[in-house]
Amino acid sequence: MLRGLLSHKLRLLLSSLAIVLGTMFMSAAFVGGDTIAAGFSNLFTTINQNIDVQVTAKQNAAADSTNVISTFVPQSVADAVGKVDGVRTSTPQVNSDGARVIDKKGKVVPTTGAPRFGIGWTDGGLAQIRQGAAPTTPSQIAISANLAKTTGFVVGDTVDVITLEPRQSFTLVGIFGYEGDRDSLAGETSVAFTMPTAQKLMLGKPDVYTSVDLTAADGVSPDQLKQRVVAVAGPDYDVKTGDEAAKDQASATSGFTDILKTALTVFAVIGMITGAFLIFNTFSMLVAQRTRELALYRSFGASKGQVNRAVLAESLLLGLASSLIGLIIGIGLGYLLKQLLQSFANTDLPVSGVVIKPYVVIVTLLVGTFFTVVAALVPALRAAQVPPIAAMREASTPDKSLRTMSIIGGVLFALGVLLLVLKMTKAIDGQLWLSVGGGALLAFIGAVMLAPLLTRPITRALGAVFSGSVAGRLGARNTGRNPRRTAITAAALMIGVTLATAAGIFAWSAKAGLTEAFTSDVKAQLIVSGGFSGGFTAGFDPALQTQIRAIPGVRQAAAVRADVAKVGGADAQILSGDPVAMQELFTLKPQSGTIRPLTKGEIILDSDTAKRLDATVGGTVDIITARGGPQTEKVVAILQPNTVVQGSPLLNPDDAAGFSSPVAQQAYVEVADGASVDDVKAQLEKLFADNPELTVTSQEEQLSQITTFLNVLLAIIWVLLGLAILVAVLGVINTLLLSIYERTREIGLIRAIGLSRGQTSWMVTVESVLISVFGALLGVVLGAFIGLALIKILDTDFLKLTVPWGYLLITLILAIVTGVIAAILPAIRASRLNVLDAIAYE
């Protein structure tokens, strides 16, 4: 068996490639995620390496969502903890997001999501001056080395910076970096001011700090010092050891690494499943081709168990060896993934090489081997049933009836469809993803089991296209002669196309729904905003709303502020602005109550929040803003569902003073009938000319930015489809090559009676194209059904059923191209068979 396995090297290579692909992605997912997580963990350990105890104020709201520190440690507390017995040094710090540098082109330096910190300079910290000196006067700054490289600023330049206060000019006196020759810690940009200037510009208050870093005197442990500081600081402050602070900061990034590992693992599992179809097909054909060989073993004494164990041993060795190769390649991919992230974030994580944990090796080898053995189990059991008398016959044992498998497949498919229909008709409440996922999975498995039954009628109908030539007719008939084999081969492509079609319909429907909802709910033709990367700190003084309304041609305008607050105990985005103006601009309609200007202590709830809190007009809601602390608000109105404010209550301007940032992030402007939109846009750009982080966009441009994430989703879908196509190509190539090997004598005979090399190649190409199109058609139909069911089940205004016919057409065209590409190698082999040798082949 071992000698036979190694003697067919091409067959062995094609079989192992599918396992290598799946295990490669799986190990890359684990290794890349673990390496990145270790990098962040080491990073925060580095940041806190010179800190024994850190004191911070407890945040009122979700500071992690904004990167803006909104509650502070006052000078009195900083002085008090600095005098605690056992403190060797006390270093108050200012470090908050929102320092936006304007580059030499007059634009705010963009960010890929990393914070733009403003800090108060302290000597002896992590930052080390590389050029120039530290700032010593209010008009001086130093910037991080990565910011200097990005902008081209050098010591002596004048640099404009936007903070909580409008744009100001500073003299650049220094450029700093970090130990290990790092230009930044984690891709962030930093601007260092003198401490009083940082307090004024970044915190809006004098004599307050974002944290106080303490080191312990000799003989005092961090835990001992922590207990002493807790007693002095009181309950309003978080006191942590340096190790605890590092772990908490690292855990904040775990969500990102978990999502990354999950997404990559999904790719790996899909690759493994498609690979399982390929391995199943391969072993089925190998056993069929070796019927005489296996029967001969039986005739001279081999038992059924020996034959069974021998075939399983082949799959075990193949799975283990291929999984090991996939693991090694995956480790390399994991390293490349870390490098890619570092390049994207423009930083170096403090971890060399890759992190390979024992579970990665064990899981990758076990899963890869398990998939292979399971895929070979049925053919192995079938091989054991070959009677010795079969050694005397040339024909292989015929395929079993499709009846049993088709009945089981029909039942599973019907159950899946029933589950989805019950959810669509709301006969099932709750358990959204369980019912949708379970229904889709059952329908998919049922479709795979029904596929052999559909093979002959569908390929016969598709084959009519090629009926103009003898070779075309032969190719079509060959596709239908073994329906199990054709269906299993097509299933690999069917998986990817099903997922891509369902996700594509969902993404296009979301785009259409968002577009319709946005255009119907928003009457503003122009929108002023700081862009999605600016966060809550990018914006303008809300008082400029008056000047916007005064521009000739402006009918209505509203400056809208946003922040994260706790509403009824849960984190939520909360808005503030003129409710009357917002009612006109966003077509707000009251579900109950009256939309009117709000006074202190009043709030308007959206329908989702009201439902979550079971709130009614006249009742009260508890909120906690970032800087304002706990407040009780009276509900004056509840809004009908609306695109702009859904999930976001409207707070009165007085209490909105407690937001983490004083700026309005957006202004919506409606142009009067007969006025020129372009003229109004020019006036708005002139009004905000001194604030280069703001842009004036049309409704269409804003909508394009909002739907950008859907384009990212579609890009991921295309990658997924590409992976499925890659494995499918391997499957079709493998199936056709083995099929040609199996039909060597048959091909020799039809060549002998006049079929040319070109006709032979065309026959094989027709087979390949029909297999690919068959799989793609099944995938498109099943994926369309799942996508339509998902949209119907979700039943939201943000989804408008849209079938992307062009997208589906491209998918089918790709299937045809896949078939042509997959046919190249088998067609060459078939056409080059020596006619006489093929006729004499046994």
pLDDT of residue 415: 92
Task: Give pLDDT tens digits for 682-734.
Answer: 999 999 887 887 888 887 777 776 677 677 767 766 776 676 677 667 777 77
State the Cα–Cα distance between residues 728 and 719, nearest whole angstrom.
14
For residue 330, pLDDT over 60 is answered with yes
Side-chain half-sphere exposure of 275, counting CA atoms within 13 A: 33
Task: Give pLDDT tens digits for 525-537.
Answer: 899 987 655 667 7
pLDDT of residue 78: 94
Beta strand 189-193 with 116-120: parallel, antiparallel or unpaired? parallel
Please report which helix (H) or strand (E) contains residue 692, including its range: none
Arithmetic mean of pLDDT, 48-60: 82
Q: How many CB atoms lie within 10 A of CB 792?
A: 15
DSSP 73: E
Q: Where are the domains of the chain?
A: 50-242, 453-521+699-842, 540-690
pLDDT band at 271 (very low <50, low <70, confident <90, very high): low
pLDDT of residue 831: 84
Q: How many CB atoms lie within 10 A of CB 591?
A: 14
Q: How far is CA 561 from CA 580, 648, 656, 765, in A?
A: 15, 11, 8, 62
pLDDT of residue 396: 45
Q: How many CB atoms lie within 10 A of CB 180?
A: 9
* pTM more than 0.75: no
State the Cα–Cα distance between residues 208 and 198, nearest whole angstrom.
10
State the Cα–Cα distance between residues 162 and 201, nearest whole angstrom.
9
> Who wins on pLDDT, 23 or 773?
773
What radius of gyration do the chain's Cα atoms show?
34
State the Cα–Cα distance between residues 647 and 562, nearest whole angstrom.
12
pLDDT of residue 595: 93
3-state helix, strand, coil split of the chain in percent (to 5) is 60, 15, 25
State the Cα–Cα distance between residues 297 and 391, nearest whole angstrom.
9
Task: Give pLDDT tens digits for 421-452.
Answer: 888 887 777 666 677 778 888 888 888 888 88
For the chain, the average pLDDT equals 82
Task: Give pLDDT tens digits for 575-629.
Answer: 999 999 999 998 899 999 999 999 999 999 999 899 999 999 999 999 988 888 7
Arithmetic mean of pLDDT, 802-826: 84
Name the nearest CA neighbour of 315 among 27, 22, 16: 16
Token duo for residue 199: 């307090």
> Who wins on pLDDT, 320 or 126?
320
Please check whether residue 368 is in contact with residue 268, taking contact to mean a CB–CB distance below 8 angstroms. no
Name the nearest CA neighbour of 666 among 834, 539, 570: 539
pLDDT of residue 55: 93
Query: Between the CA atoms of 214, 219, 225 and 227, what dihedral angle is there, to the nearest 10 degrees?
Result: 180
DSSP 199: I
Please check whether residue 452 is in contact with residue 405, taking contact to mean a CB–CB distance below 8 angstroms. yes
For residue 499, pLDDT over 60 is answered with yes
For residue 254, pLDDT over 70 is answered with no
For residue 395, pLDDT over 50 is answered with no
pLDDT of residue 492: 72
- 483 - beta bridge partners? none
Please check whether residue 67 is in contact with residue 187, taking contact to mean a CB–CB distance below 8 angstroms. no
Token duo for residue 576: 């503030």
Please check whether residue 100 is in contact with residue 109, taking contact to mean a CB–CB distance below 8 angstroms. yes
Residue 688's contacts (CB-CB under 8 Å, 6 or more residues apart) are: 528, 540, 694, 696
Please report which helix (H) or strand (E) contains residue 795, including its range: none
pLDDT of residue 641: 85
Beta strand 629-639 with 590-593: parallel, antiparallel or unpaired? antiparallel
Please check whether residue 585 is in contact with residue 524, taking contact to mean a CB–CB distance below 8 angstroms. yes
Arithmetic mean of pLDDT, 731-741: 74
State the Cα–Cα distance between residues 500 and 721, nearest whole angstrom.
6
Q: How many residues in the chain?
A: 842
Q: Coil, strand, or helix at residue 126?
A: coil
**Best-predicted range by mean pLDDT among 106-120, 365-379, 584-598?**
584-598
Name the nearest CA neighbour of 651 among 584, 602, 696, 692: 602
State the Cα–Cα distance between residues 472 and 466, nearest whole angstrom.
5
pLDDT band at 370 (very low <50, low <70, confident <90, very high): confident
Query: Between the CA atoms of 84, 86, 90 and 93, what dihedral angle is there, to the nearest 10 degrees?
Result: -80
pLDDT of residue 807: 80
pLDDT band at 553 (very low <50, low <70, confident <90, very high): very high
Buried b (16+ CB within 10 A) or exposed e, 110-126: ebeebbbbbbbbbeebb
Characterise 624 by phi-psi region: left (phi > 0), alpha (psi -120 to 50), beta (else): beta
Task: Give pLDDT tens digits for 167-222.
Answer: 899 999 999 988 767 788 777 789 999 999 999 999 888 999 999 999 999 989 99
